[in-house]
Amino acid sequence: MTSSKRRPSIGVFDSGFGGLTVLKELIAQYPDADYHYFGDTARLPYGSKSVETVAKYAVEASHFLENRGANLLVIACNTATALALDRITNAAHVPVIGVVEPGADQASAASKNRRVIVVGTEATVASHAYKKALEAHGVEVKEKACPLLVPLVEEGWVEHPVTQEVARIYLNEAFADGFRDADVLVLGCTHYPLIKPVLRKAAPDHVAIVDSAHSTASVVARQLRDHTRPTPVPSASPTATGLRFFATDSVEKFRRLGPRFLGHPVESVEHVDLKE
């Protein structure tokens, strides 16, 4: 996958900011790498676009990251993974990992009674990507679209009473109709880790929460450890990690919102116009 003689360079792609939660987990689990994050902020949301359009945008972004030297691509976008992972994988010249399969694999391993709830955006739920992946493991699945949660997170209302009430309503509906005994809740949106404490409180006590961002980072880190001999660096820590950010819209907005998802300041944001 990667050369044993150099530090791996990982390209991370999302339609916007949510994929920064995946990047945060990647840095925590595998700090000895360089990371290039591409947020297609000028063209979000992807959820309202056709499969062809999402595939086109995602392939363009993937090629951009490859041209920047990425030797592994992480599609940190549930919509792009759900709608276009095959297209991205076929177009790429390096290995590609999406967020759906890792989350589904961990949920299957965590579920004792084989009944799982998946929450996500309308586009991800409509694709049934998690449902198909989990059913392949013999798991019964109920999906619930939670369209209000992303704008609440982006507003910064991660502990706001409104967010708590919205989460409670959504999860009450998700665990109704015979699924009260479901024992795993999959966070099928990369924004949702920011409100994991709120979702934990709103979910039944017996339910384990699977965060697809954490699951994906674990898969990437494991593959890197299997294929890469770490290159000695002065301090293998998040502060020593090479981080570059690219956005197709306002870099000022990216610097302002990015830290909410990444957990520390976002520096060195470069504006990119893929139409050029």
Q: Please list the active-site residues.
A: 77, 189
Phi, psi of 265 (to 5 degrees): -55, 145
Long-range contacts for 160-163 (Cβ within 8 Å, ≥24 apart)? 163/195, 163/198
Cβ atoms within 10 Å, residue 159 = 11
Amino acid at the residue 138: G
Element holding 95 (H helix, E strand): none
Element holding 10 (H helix, E strand): strand 9-14
Sequence-ordered alpha helix ranges (H) in the chain: 20-29, 51-67, 78-91, 100-110, 122-127, 129-135, 149-154, 161-174, 196-202, 212-227, 251-262
End-to-end CA distance of the chain: 30
Q: Strand 9-14 vs strand 72-75: parallel, antiparallel, or unpaired?
A: parallel
Contact indicator for 181, 112 with CB cutoff of 8 Å: no
